[in-house]
Amino acid sequence: MKSENASLTARLVLFAAGMFVFGFVVLPPLYDVFCEVTGFGGRTNTTAQTAVEAPDLTREIRIEFVTTVNNYAPWQFAPAVDSMTVNPGKMYFATFTATNLSDESRTGQAVPSVAPVSATAHFKKIECFCFDSQEFSAQEQRSLPLQFIVDPDLPDYVDTITLSYTYFESNYVTRR
């Protein structure tokens, strides 16, 4: 009886420890891979991509820009236009304006997210300020460029894509 109890206990402890490892070690990378593959969670490219241009002039997609500044940091950050209408396969440019509202130099970086999930893989950023961080001197204002193509393979039920940027103080970003 004693040894039966001990071996069952050992197996149950091992199972509990395994579940901890599953939660702490296995799940986060698994979730990452899942998001990369499916575009779940608004994952979008953070390094430059290239795309073949074959414009589909018969189709119009509305692109909406949303901006947020994290943690009420002393920044102003806004798109030049709130939305634009684009043809898939054609290259477009958009500008955003960022202002450092404080009296000291600061570094910031925008982190992008795309919705809906089915559009994430088809929204391709050729050039984006979000690939790097930007250093601003006190009270400096600057325009930040974005160059993108919407892939013509975009599922036909998608007519609006939302691109959201959150501007972070770079001490958050470099913590990675």
Partner 1 sequence: MSDHGPAKGITRWLYTTNHKDIGTMYLIFSLIMFFIGGSMALVIRSELMSPGLQFVHPEFFNQMTTMHALIMVFGAVMPAFVGLANWMIPLMIGAPDMALPRMNNWSFWILPVAFGILLSTLFMDGGAPASGWTMYPPLVLQTGDAFPFLIFSVHLMGISSIMGAINIIVTILNMRAPDMWLLKMPMFVWTWLITAYLLIAVMPVLAGAVTMLLTDQFFGTSFFLAAGGGDPVMFQHIFWFFGHPEVYIMILPAFGIVSEIIPTFSRKPLFGHDSMVYAASCIAFLSFIVWAHHMFTVGMPLTGQLFFMFATMLIAVPTGVKIFNWVATMWRGSMTFETPMLFSLAFVFLFTIGGFSGVMLAMVPADIQYHDSYFVVAHFHYVLVPGSIFGLFAGAYYWLPKWTGHMYNETAGKLHFWTSTIFVNMTFFPMHFLGLAGMPRRIPDYSTQFANFNEIASIGAIGFGVSQLIFVYVLLTSKKGAKATDRVWDEPKGLEWTVPSPAPYHTFETPPVKRVAEEAFE
* Residues in touch with partner 1 (CB under 8 A): 1, 4-5, 8-9, 12-13, 15-20, 22-24, 27-28, 31, 35, 38, 40-42, 70, 109, 111, 113, 115-118, 166, 168, 172-173, 175-176
Report the residue number, 18 or 145, with the smaller CB distance to partner 1: 18
Give the whole-angstrom CA distance, residue 92 versus residue 85: 10
Nearer to partner 1, 70 or 87 (CB): 70
Report the nearest approach of partner 1 to the CB of residue 124 (Å): 20
Shortest distance (Å) from residue 15 CB to partner 1 = 6
Instruction: Evaluate whether 133 touches 176 at the Cβ level (below 8 Å).
Output: no
For partner 1, the closer CB: 51 or 73: 73
* Alpha helix ranges (H) inside the chain: 2-21, 27-38, 170-173
Closest distance of CB 90 from partner 1, Å: 27
Are the beta carbons of 123 and 148 closer than 8 angstroms? yes
CB of 167 to partner 1, least distance (A): 10
Is 114 or 149 the residue whose CB approaches partner 1 more closely? 114
Smallest distance from partner 1 to CB 128, Å: 16
Which pair of structure tokens corresponds to residue 49? 């991509």
Cβ proximity to partner 1, 87 vs 170, nearer residue? 170
Which residues, in sequence order, are CB contacts of 99 under 8 Å at separation 6+?
75, 76, 77, 136, 139, 140, 141, 142
* DSSP code for 21: H
Q: From CA 123, how far away is CA 140, in angstroms rounded?
A: 30
